[in-house]
Structure 1
Amino acid sequence: MRPLNSLIGNCLDSLHKVSAIHGWTFKSGTILDIYIANNLLGAYVKYGEFRFALKLFDEIPNKDTVTWNSMIAGYIKYGNLKHAWELQKTMRRLGFSVDGYTFPSILKGIANEGCIHLGQQAHSTIIKMGYAGNVYPASALLDMYAKCDRIDDAFAVFQKMPERNSITWNALIAGYAEKGDIETCFWLLGSMEQEGVKLEDGTFTPLLTLLDDPDLYKLTTQVHSKIIKNGLTFQNTVCNATITSYSDCGSVEDAVKVFDAAVDSKDIVTWNSMLAAYLAYEKVSLAFKLFLEMQYSGFKPDIYTYTGILSACSDESHGKLARSLHALVMKKGVEEITSISNSLIAMYLKTHVENVEDALKIFESMDYRDSVSWNSILNGFSQHGLSEKALELFRQMRYISLDLDHYAVSAVLRCCSDLAILQLGQQVHVVALKFGLELDDFVASSLIFMYSKCGIIDDARKSFDETPKDSPITWNSIIFGYAQHGQGKIALQLFFLMKDKKIKMDHITFVAVLTACSHVGLVDEGYNILKDMESIHGIPPRMEHYACGIDLFGRAGRLEDAKELVEGMPFEPDAMVLKTLLGACKICGDIELATKVASRLLELEPEEHCTYVLLSNMYGHLQKWDDKAIIKRQMRDKGIRKVPGWSWIEVNNKVHAFNAEDCSHISFKDIYWILGVLSVEINKLKTIFMGEIPLST
């Protein structure tokens, strides 16, 4: 019988053969051989035919421990912990002895479900039955505790194990890596090497996930050296994790070297890891080149590939490319996958305001929308200034009782800020409290911004004071708030307090404090901060920082300093910088420089109405009517019209919007009558204070 058993064992390499052999053994009566029956049972579980496995299990008259173990493993494989747990109880109740292979399957299911109470019961049974010293159940027990976030219990199991293998060490390292405990992970690595345990891909992969900061670059290179020394360079999981780690540590060049060296060991994850590295450093052209090269090499893009490459289309210049990618997604038939639809929505919202409708069409066509779908469209409306549409969408989210997260709440608070709707902003604040989101950095930042934009800086400060104050996000918002309220000295005090508390500053922090200095005329203080950005804080000034510095000098009437600052920039000024310089020219009345700056601006943005209007106003102020007429004619010839500014006010929880000489409001006649009355009263007061009418009158 044994040669027959061996032959059958070798033939169970496809479902078709399994079914054929099952029929033959049943017909010949050899199904009664427990070895053959167990082999068939294991094969059915392997190929996912669990109903056949269950039927065969019920037919086997002389079950043994292997039979029960196979069935328990099958239940766990297909996510049915409840039946697996009941089956092992039945197994023991019927007098079958469990062995060192029974518990690992059960514990794997417990770890996947996070059922710590069942894990503790299993632990008790393992001790009771004398398997605590067996390396297989003990390793599974350790892994279960680690995955159930009970790392101290996992370590206690580890310490009591008389025998440890690489699986044991790797499970413990993975547990501490999940907790972010880099020090313990590397202590365990050193202990492994001292005990002569073989280092494997499962050892290094969790370690590499911890190496995600430029400060850890040197440590990453040391780990990479160990990987090479242990001959694991071309192990897929290690290779992929190394690429990601180098990218996170700021060295995309090293990531490329690892990727290029993996000639014969690349899988789809390897390509996606390299793609993500390029995108993280905004190397968009290289990302697209890699995307094409990947397909030429025979790799089929997956969900992560598509979501990654769609995120590369991030500005107006990628409009045509965005539509090409959308067409590709449709051609491949993956546009209905929720995560890809979400990426398409985000892509259209990032490329141009005109594409908002395209994003909305995709959103409305989705069969299933998750929180990312709603948040993407909500944030898109908010960022493009479509605040009223965003608020309407938020009302829909509330109506269908969708769980709100910090993305949704912070986006709708920004809309309340843009429209200066205090009452609705306070209601959203209550929603944030209800969902326990008020201490989230982004929500708290939006609350601070909303209250400051609505003119209530004290409530903005209360929102700031209630935060943990360990993130630059909330500090930036409160500094901006005080800057907008003309309280630059308080903003500057907060900046230095932030510095004293060693809160990590970012480029937005410096925009905020420079804006504050500009608004209250703290010229020298602001300029010193700008000069010290890179040398002291390690943050190179960007375009927006130079724009703040130019505004700082311009408001103080120091046009020559503003001009020198532009000339000393390490890169060519963009439209924002030139507009700021043009504004400084207006303040200082330098029409000659203004004309030169405007000329450069119109080369960059020939359709931008602001440049024409500002230059026209300057000519009018200096009574250069001919030059003003030329500007007006140029605007008319090019079809450029001044975009009117809007004002709005909230009355009884309703927003009323107006622009200059507007007659669209239902009560416009009453509004203009009141304006006329106010104008008369203002003129009377002006006359009184100028001394033309006695105060007694």
Structure 2
Amino acid sequence: MRRPLNSLVESSANAFYKVLTTHCRALKSGTLADVHTANKILNSYARCKDLHIARKVFAEIPHRDTVSWNTMIAGFVNCGNLGTACEILKDMKRCGFDFDGYTFGSLLKGVASSYRLEVGQQLHSMVIKMGYEGNVYAGSALLDMYAKCEKVDDAYMVFDYAPEPNSVSWNALIAGFSQVGDRSTAFWLLHCMEKEGVRVEDGTFAPLLTLLDDIEFYKLAIQIHGKIIKHGLVFDDTVCNAMITSYSDCGSIGDARKVFDGAVGMRDLVTWNSMLAVYLVHEEEELGFQLFLDMQRLGFEPDIYTYTSVLSACFEKAHKSHGQSLHGVVIKRGMECLIGLSEDALKLFGQMRSLTVEIDHYAFSAALRSCTVLATLQLGQQVHVLAIKSGFESNEFVASALIFMYSKCGMVEDARKSFAETPEDSSIAWNSIIFSYAQNGQGTIALDLFFLMRDRKVKLDHITFVAVLTACSHIGLVEEGLSLLKSMESDYGIPPRMEHYACAVDLLGRAGRLDEARTLIESMPFKPDAMVWKTLLGASRACGDIELATQVASYLLELEPEEHCTYVLLSHLYGHLRRWDEKAMLTRLMRERGVKKVPGWSWIEIKNRVHAFNAEDRSHPRCKEIYQILGELMEETTWLDTGRTLELQVDPPLLSCFALISSLEIMQHALRGREGMPEFGSKC
């Protein structure tokens, strides 16, 4: 069972108190002058991660040796500060101390953690130059560094030159080939490892299990499970967690549960989260909710991953009460502030840089997602540059975040360039670029990419089909889209979900085939949710079918009486058909139910600052100037008749701001009583 947080804090405080006491005694007795004693104290401070005091102790050691320098380097590496560790290495060389296998081992560990391949290659040349390529610590660390940086050929070369590779080297190589998805080589290495009589361990099997991620590998998963039992590793939590996920990916919830049940007494939080993910991925929400309660009953405190996972299962109407209860628990546990704060996330990212903290691919992905939410292109481009400098541009998660960021900002070609930098078998990146083209009106290219993805045998998933059905909808390929929907389960083994049917309804609705859309909804294997009905309502409104729209709206008003979108869509339809009585009745109903229309916003980024506006907004600090020029524009509507160019002397930022806030108002004013609009221009 996981140790409580307060016990961890207490043990850390005790450890620090002990080293402080030892330090004071050494100062009092004068034994700090002894390098062996000083190094022990230095190492203790480094283990407590109090590098500020460690540096002071290091500076006071009269006769440092190589161990003193290595301790400081390892301390900063373990705290994720590779930059300072490299600076200490330079000082070490400047002071005339020779490096050894431990020096290189520590630094290469830091390089592997931060994926700084170029630094690792420089260290490799130093290892060769100083004759340490045969050293077990330097050699293993080199191999691990190349493997984690996905340079598996270089890793294998280092392995091949090792005089007697140990289990650490074998495991690092297997993990490397597993990471790049090379199943055949990874399992061949396992066979060779067993043949050589090298001891297999948790680090051997855990990465191999990540490769067993499809129903076709189910039998292989059973065989690997047998080997795990044979080698006595079935009670290792890392292997156990990997087995649960692997069985789930191979389609066997039952086997995943058996592994989970067999892990009684050694489960950690990751074990519970893994089993929770199994239930939610396979749409067994009720079992997931029960597991969520069981873990707390047995003393396991959920983390942010647990909450986000179980909350994602509450979108169905049937689970709305669960979602509300969970929301209350999240607030009570003080975790609400961890979700959806994009501006704060970017500020924290900036602080990480200023503190020279090593930034990994998770931080880059999160920062880019925040840029996407805020639509800050210039800032996103700056983060992109940092990702390139740090060697993360080709990481599939960073690349996917880049694709979405550029796509959201309308820069599809830049999104395609980011896609080109990713591994060819990354389904995450393929899905992202298909969505990018589909949502930017280039559905034909999105479809071409889908077929290319299929031909290259990149793993397709339910997200892939949402993307390709969206593409078909946007370019009007009705028959092709319906054919893909029908073939999902039979040809690809992916049962259609609610979101796929919603895409198909949108596809038919855009083509004006409302009867077929309604028939499709009625043929669904599950009860349609609000998303599907909203899609049909939007299609009914677009086609002017007031009877169907009213009928669908009545369903939605029962399902979601507090949702403003239904009222707004129906109100617009009544207004378009000049049915003022029904429109007034709907407005009265909204007022009685306390439903308010959530205003839409427009925004523009100027010099890394986002300016946001909605209709009649007066919160902008330059709103007086904006509305003054807006008034002048409204007086100049004669340009519609003459076709002449409108000339205004306004600075670009201000023009951009008022253009966004007022564009709809200008058009409505200028087009009153007109059916068409000739071309126009503006000149600043």
Residue 371 (1) aligns with residue 349 (2): yes
Q: Report how far residue 311 of structure 1 moved.
A: 2.5
SS of aligned partner of 2:441: helix
Residue 141 of structure 2 corresponds to residue 140 of structure 1: no
Residues 1:536 and 2:528 aligned together: no
Per-residue CA deviations over 1:230-251 (Å, capped at 9, x if unaligned) read: 2221234433443344455554
Distance 1:591 1:239 in 2: 57
Counterpart for residue 434 of structure 2: 475
CA deviation vs aligned residue, 1:249-281 (integer Å, no higher than 9, x gap): 554543332222123434555455545656766
TM-score normalised by L of structure 2: 0.62
Q: Letter of the aligned partner of 1:140 in structure 2?
A: Y
Partner of 1:558: 513
Secondary structure of the 1:535 match is helix
Distance in 2 separating the partners of 1:266 and 1:322: 26
- The 1:669–1:165 alpha-carbon spacing in structure 2 relative to 1, beyond 3 Å, is closer
Could you tell me how far apart the structure 2 residues matched to 1:372 and 1:215 are? 45
The whole-number CA distance in structure 2 between the counterparts of 1:622 and 1:237 is 63
Q: 2:434, 2:467 within 8 Å by CA — same for their partners in 1?
A: no
Question: TM-score, normalization: structure 1?
Answer: 0.61
CA separation in 1, counterparts of 2:273 and 2:676?
A: 73
The answer to whether the Cα contact below 8 Å between 2:537 and 2:549 also exists between their aligned partners in 1 is: yes
Cα distance in structure 2, aligned partners of 1:466 and 1:506:
21
Task: Tell me which amino acid in the other structure corresponds to 2:142.
Answer: Y
Q: Give the alignment partner of residue 530 of structure 2, picking from 572, 575, 583.
A: 575
Aligned partner of 1:673 among 635, 651, 673: 635
- Cα deviation for residue 319 of structure 1 reads 4.7
Q: CA deviation at 1:143?
A: 1.2
Question: Equivalent residue for 1:378?
Answer: none
Structure 1 Cα separation of the partners of residues 325 and 35 of structure 2 = 59
Counterpart of 1:596 in structure 2 is 551
Q: Is residue 2:329 matched to residue 1:324?
A: yes
CA distance in 2, matches of 1:515, 1:169: 45
> Per-residue CA shift, 1:183-233, capped at 9, x if unaligned?
333223212322344433443344345545555444332211101122221
Give the corresponding residue for 1:9: none
Residue among 337, 350, 355 paired with 1:345: 337
- Aligned partner letter, 2:551: K
Structure 2: distance between partners of 1:70 and 1:686: 84
In structure 2, C-alpha distance between the alignment counterparts of 1:174 and 1:326, rounded to whole Å: 39
Equivalent pair of 1:76/1:109 in contact (CA under 8 Å)? yes
Give the equivalent residue in structure 1 for 2:409: 450
The Cα RMSD (Å) is 5.9
Q: Is the 8 A contact 1:492 1:513 kept in 2?
A: yes
Structure 1 residue 126 displacement after superposition: 6.8
C-alpha spacing 1:84/1:295, structure 2 compared with 1 (3 Å):
farther
Q: Is the 8 A contact 2:431 2:467 kept in 1?
A: no
- 8 Å Cα contact 1:232/1:238 also seen in 2: yes
- Aligned pairs for 1:258-269 (under 5 A) are 258-267=259-268
Other structure's SS at 2:440 match: helix
Deviation at 1:409, TM superposition (A): 4.7
Please give the alpha-carbon distance, in whole angstroms, between the structure 1 residues aligned to 2:677 and 2:200.
90
Structure 1 residues 482, 610: closer, same or farther in 2, change over 3 A? closer
One-letter amino acid of the counterpart of residue 532, structure 1: S
What SS does the corresponding residue of 1:149 show, helix, strand or coil? helix
- Contact persistence 2:66–2:97 (CA under 8 A): no
Is the CA contact 1:511–1:548 (under 8 Å) kept in the aligned structure 2? yes
What aligned pairs does 1:271-670 form with structure 2 within 5 A after superposition?
271=272, 273-274=274-275, 290=291, 293-294=294-295, 297=298, 301=301, 306-312=303-309, 313-314=311-312, 317=320, 318-328=323-333, 344-347=336-339, 349=340, 370-371=348-349, 405=364, 407-409=366-368, 411-412=370-371, 415-416=374-375, 427=378, 431=382, 434-435=385-386, 440-451=399-410, 460=412, 464=416, 467-468=419-420, 471-482=430-441, 507=462, 510-511=465-466, 514-515=469-470, 517-518=472-473, 521-586=476-541, 591-612=546-567, 614-615=569-570, 630-631=585-586, 633-640=588-595, 658=615, 665-670=627-632
SS in structure 2 at match of 1:569? coil
Summarize the Cα distance change of 1:141–1:225 in structure 2 as closer, same or farther, 3 Å threshold.
Answer: same
Among the aligned pairs, what percent are the same residue? 40
The answer as to whether partners of 1:464 and 1:478 remain within 8 angstroms in 2 is no
User: What is aligned with 1:231?
Assistant: 232
Contact 1:209 1:245 survives alignment (8 Å): yes
User: Aligned-pair distance for 1:657?
Assistant: 5.0
Cα 1:442/1:214, change in 2 over 3 Å: farther
What code does the residue aligned with 1:149 have?
Y
Please give the secondary structure, in 1, of the residue aligned with 2:333: helix
Aligned positions, number: 562
Matches of 1:490 and 1:159, distance apart in 2:
44
> What residue ranges of structure 1 are gaps of 5+ in the alignment?
1-13, 32-36, 60-67, 94-101, 330-342, 350-358, 376-395, 397-402, 417-423, 452-458, 690-697
Distance in 2 between residues matched to 1:371 and 1:446, nearest whole Å: 17
CA shift at 1:563, angstroms?
1.9
Aligned position for 2:651 = none
Which amino acid in structure 2 is aligned with residue 225 of structure 1? G
**Structure 2 alignment gaps of length 5 or more:** 1-16, 48-53, 78-84, 112-119, 355-360, 425-429, 618-622, 642-668, 679-684
Alpha-carbon separation, structure 1, partners of 2:368 and 2:291: 37
Contact 1:116 1:148 in 2 (8 A): no
Equivalent in the alignment of 2:196:
195
Cα deviation code 1:296-345 (max 9, x no counterpart):
5466x5xxx5232343445685355344344335xxxxxxxxxxxxx643
Offset of 1:536 from its aligned partner? 3.4
Closer/same/farther in 2, CA of residues 155 and 39 from structure 1, 3 Å limit: same
- The separation in 2 between residues aligned to 1:494 and 1:183, in whole angstroms, is 27
**Contact between 1:518 and 1:552, CA under 8 Å: does it hold in 2?**
yes
Distance verdict in 2 for CA 1:687–1:140, change over 3 Å: closer
Cα deviation for residue 593 of structure 1 reads 4.0
Letter in 2 for 1:549: A
Distance 2:677 2:326 in 1: 65
Paired amino acid for 1:146? L
Distance in 2, matches of 1:681 and 1:668, equals 12
Give the structure, 1 or 2, with the largest relative contact order (CA under 8 Å, sep 6 or more).
2
Task: Please list the CA deviations of residues 50-72 of structure 1 after superposition, one character each: whole Å capped at 9, or x if unmatched.
Answer: 99x999x999xxxxxxxx99989
Please say if 1:204 is aligned against 2:205: yes
Map residues 67-86 of structure 1 onto 2, 5 A cutoff: 78=75
Q: Which residue of 2 aligns with 1:243?
A: 244
| Rounded Cα–Cα distance in structure 2 between residues aligned with 1:71 and 1:428 | 42
Quick one: which amino acid aligns to residue 525 of structure 2? P
Could you tell me whether the CA contact under 8 Å between 2:372 and 2:404 is conserved in 1? no
Taking a change above 3 Å as real, the CA distance of residues 215 and 632 of structure 1, as seen in their structure-2 partners, is same
Q: Which amino acid aligns with 1:597?
A: V
Matched residue, 1:382 = none
CA distance in 1, matches of 2:370, 2:406: 10
Flag the 1:513–1:75 CA change in 2: closer, same or farther, 3 A.
closer
Aligned-partner Cα distance in 2 for 1:229–1:323: 46
Which residue number in structure 1 is paired with residue 658 of structure 2?
none
Give the aligned partner of residue 6 of structure 1.
Answer: none
